[in-house]
Structure 1
């Protein structure tokens, strides 16, 4: 009988094949100690392994950049940066000078960095521990002259099953033969997940005992839409999933007919449909899915996965690339948003007992003005190349916004004096992510140029339920009347002051939420580029007037369950 296992969805799609178990190559570092006269020889062996790793990683980067997107290729830029990191190299050289052989010195240094990353609260930074493991394994293998795991010889349809896939192994994936990936560990920010999404390979993780449940060569189906894994499927199941796959492909092809069309309700109301991006590497998806603008450029990714702060010039080039590519379409760039679940290890910031309520986002920037000014200056310089709007994250008071806006104006005036000309005014808005900002949105609207509601954090802070904590996941309620009331208040505050209001986060992608938001009068939705055409189709099938009636009704509900029931009844989903 077939067995169905459910895991965490990392990449959508359906794949068929036989199971290919990828066991991690065990590279054991020798523990032998060395004599004083061997130190130079071991240091030389280490330096040669670094040089060899440079060649290997550049080749991997070139191959990935040629076949995938720049986001996936950038994984190996971070690896190369670590090879060149003075602190990492110094740690290893010192260890060799203390009579450890090169292999052991690499392993000991790796353990220090791995422990540091794994102790962080951020899932993104925890995932970087695998980068360190990968780099250290490569260096030890180079010292030993050992070949690492090779997936390039796979020449038939398979679903790769592993405890975890290193970035190096992920870079070898070929969608011609790799039809799915299942790992015991790894989240949305793991490199295997990033590359799988780039290749449109379905991927599922979070199945701790998966290797004990599968047999090499066994038939398998992976459903990345639902997170289901079907072991030893019957002919009936194979046929059913084939039909599902075919239907999805036909739907995606049909959605392309919407390219070039406005996002408009049945009764003619326009809603802006913008894209969320991490950087220039996402521009192909933005273009191919016909985004009407950039609603959220998450600049923190410029600062993460590296060993130091990005320079003004590096930031300028990244912002310029996006603004230039978007022509005159709006590009909303959010200033550095760290803290909470996003950390920059190289800043060595003090540990906070509750980072989500700590010195994050705009609070950090206002206390670290030089970092803030560098970013603002890069943004101001880039503003000449497109339609820039600057957005400050997690503003809770009018004073925070005014201080941030004053710094933006100050840096703009300095730059204008330098170049001897006046630049166009730069719109400045805020992310509404806290109940405090929502509650004073009518006052804030007199100061800001626009609002963008960060629904994920607004729900979290309103419900006092950490969105990453499974113990309180039942309290993280998107449809709670208190959350909906705050969203309605922000939208009304914007309309009353002639300021447009957008929303990003999971609510902007969910059809039930979109129905409510349309009724509330939202001006813009910002979503993952690949979701744009599907949402455009959905909006074209609903009437704003109908949704207004629904939105009015839900505000008098007592619970999230009642709200959900009303939505489903109104949309004929019951």
Structure 2
């Protein structure tokens, strides 16, 4: 009898194959102490392992860069940076000087970083602990002459099952043979998930006991759309999932017909459809999905997954690369947005009892002007390479916006004096994420060039419900009339002051909320690149005039449930 178990969806798609159980290399670390006469030899062995690791990681980066996207290849840039990190190297040398053998010294130093990452609230930062483990395993394997996990020997259709896949192991995946990935550990931001999405390999995680349920060589089906895994499937299940896979492939072909078309409603109203990105590694996805611009460049990813702040030059190159790729299409770059669920371990910021209401985003930047000015200067330098618009996150007062803009103007004037010429004006806007900003949006609109509504945070702050807390998840209600009322107010404030208004977050991707947003008069939606063509197709089937009637009605509802019922009834979904 087939058994269906469900896990966390990491990468969409449907795959069939035999189970391939992947285990970590057999590395044992000796507890033996060395004597002082052996210190130089152990230090030398450690330094040799670093040199070998440099060569190996550069080769991995090159291989991944050739076959996958820059996002996947950049994983190994971070590994190389850690190898070169003075603090990491100093700790290991100190442990050797304290008479630990080189392998033990690597383990002791690595454990400090691993524990630090695992203690953070951010799932993204927790996932970086595996990077440290991977680096330490590589260094130790080089000293011991041990071969790390080798997936290159796979030569038939398989679904890889593992406790967790290190970045090094993930880089060996070949979509010709690897038809799915199932892991006990690892989240949506894990490197195995990033690489799986790049390769269009379905992936599922969060199955703690998966290794006890499977046998190497048995047949298996993986459905990355639902998170389902079918163990010991019969011919009936195989046929059903084959049909589902074929239907999905046909759907993707149909959506490509919308490449090159305008995004407009059935009654001819244009809505700009932009993409959300993490950095230059995403620009290929932006182009292949025909985005009309970039609505949200999350610059915090430049600061994460590393041991120190990015330099002005590093930031300049990243911003320039994105701007240059867009052929003068709008590129909205959000300044550093940390705090809440996004932490930078190397800053050693004090723990806050409620970080979502603490010193995050623009509050942090205005109190740490040198960090802010470095980013603003990099943005100013890059502005000549495309259509740059700068957005400040989590603004709650007009004063915050004015102070942030003044610093941008100051850095622009300094740079203009250095190069001896004037640059074009840089449009500045705010991400409306708080009820405060929404309530004063009419006054704010007189100062800004545009608004972008950050729906995820606006919902949680309006409903006083942490979106990451399962205990109050029922109160995180995108369709609550209070949330919808604030969104409408911001859109009207923009229209009344001739300022365009966009939205990003989950509401920009949800068909039901898109219908309401069209009725409210939204100018722009910013979504993940892979959703662009499907949303363009959906918008082509609705009339703005019909949605205007719906959007007026929902504001009179008493609850989110009433709103959803009204939407379903209006869109004939009941």
Q: Secondary structure of 2:525's partner?
A: strand
1:220 Cα deviation after fit: 1.0
State the match for 2:36 in structure 1. 36
Q: Secondary structure of 1:339's partner?
A: coil
Contact kept, 8 Å, 2:396 with 2:436, in 1: the verdict is yes
State the match for 2:444 in structure 1. 444
Q: CA deviation digits over 1:232-272, x for unaligned, max 9?
A: 11212111111111111111111111111100000000000
Q: Secondary structure of 1:20's partner?
A: strand
Report how many residues are paired: 574
Q: Secondary structure of 1:261's partner?
A: coil
Structure 1: unaligned runs, 5 residues or longer? none
State the match for 2:54 in structure 1. 54
Q: Is the counterpart of residue 398 in structure 1 residue 398 in structure 2? A: yes
Q: Secondary structure of 1:15's partner?
A: strand
State the match for 2:312 in structure 1. 312
Q: Is the counterpart of residue 302 in structure 1 residue 325 in structure 2? A: no
Contact kept, 8 Å, 2:299 with 2:333, in 1: the verdict is yes
State the match for 2:251 in structure 1. 251
State the match for 1:119 in structure 2. 119
In the TM superposition, what are the counterparts of 1:102-113 in structure 2 within 5 Å?
A: 102-113=102-113
State the match for 2:78 in structure 1. 78
Q: Secondary structure of 1:161's partner?
A: strand
| Greater mean deviation of Cα atoms: 124-133 or 352-361 | 352-361
* Distance (whole Å) between structure 1 residues aligned to residue 28 and residue 354 of structure 2: 38
Q: Secondary structure of 2:204's partner?
A: strand
State the match for 1:422 in structure 2. 422
Q: Secondary structure of 2:128's partner?
A: helix
Contact kept, 8 Å, 2:20 with 2:217, in 1: the verdict is yes
Q: Secondary structure of 1:4's partner?
A: strand
* Distance (whole Å) between structure 1 residues aligned to residue 160 and residue 23 of structure 2: 10
Q: CA deviation digits over 1:390-437, x for unaligned, max 9?
A: 000000111100100111111111111222221111110000011111
* Distance (whole Å) between structure 2 residues aligned to residue 572 and residue 299 of structure 1: 40
Q: Is the counterpart of residue 353 in structure 1 residue 366 in structure 2? A: no
Q: CA deviation digits over 1:48-83, x for unaligned, max 9?
A: 111111111111111111100111011111111111
| Greater mean deviation of Cα atoms: 287-296 or 346-355 | 346-355
* Distance (whole Å) between structure 2 residues aligned to residue 159 and residue 305 of structure 1: 28
State the match for 1:506 in structure 2. 506
* Distance (whole Å) between structure 1 residues aligned to residue 209 and residue 477 of structure 2: 31
Q: CA deviation digits over 1:70-102, x for unaligned, max 9?
A: 110111111111111111111111111111111
Give every structure 1 segment of 4 or more consecutive aligned residues whose post-TM-superposition deviation is greater than 2 Å. none
In the TM superposition, what are the counterparts of 1:252-331 in structure 2 within 5 Å?
A: 252-331=252-331
State the match for 1:481 in structure 2. 481
Contact kept, 8 Å, 2:25 with 2:146, in 1: the verdict is no
* Distance (whole Å) between structure 1 residues aligned to residue 48 and residue 470 of structure 2: 46
Structure 2: unaligned runs, 5 residues or longer? none
Question: Over aligned residues, Cα RMSD in angstroms?
Answer: 1.0
State the match for 2:95 in structure 1. 95
1:315 Cα deviation after fit: 1.2
* Distance (whole Å) between structure 2 residues aligned to residue 45 and residue 512 of structure 1: 60
Q: Secondary structure of 2:127's partner?
A: helix
In the TM superposition, what are the counterparts of 1:223-242 in structure 2 within 5 Å?
A: 223-242=223-242
* Distance (whole Å) between structure 2 residues aligned to residue 328 and residue 53 of structure 1: 40
State the match for 1:457 in structure 2. 457
State the match for 1:168 in structure 2. 168
Q: Secondary structure of 1:138's partner?
A: helix
State the match for 1:373 in structure 2. 373
| Greater mean deviation of Cα atoms: 475-484 or 497-506 | 475-484
TM-score (norm 2): 0.99
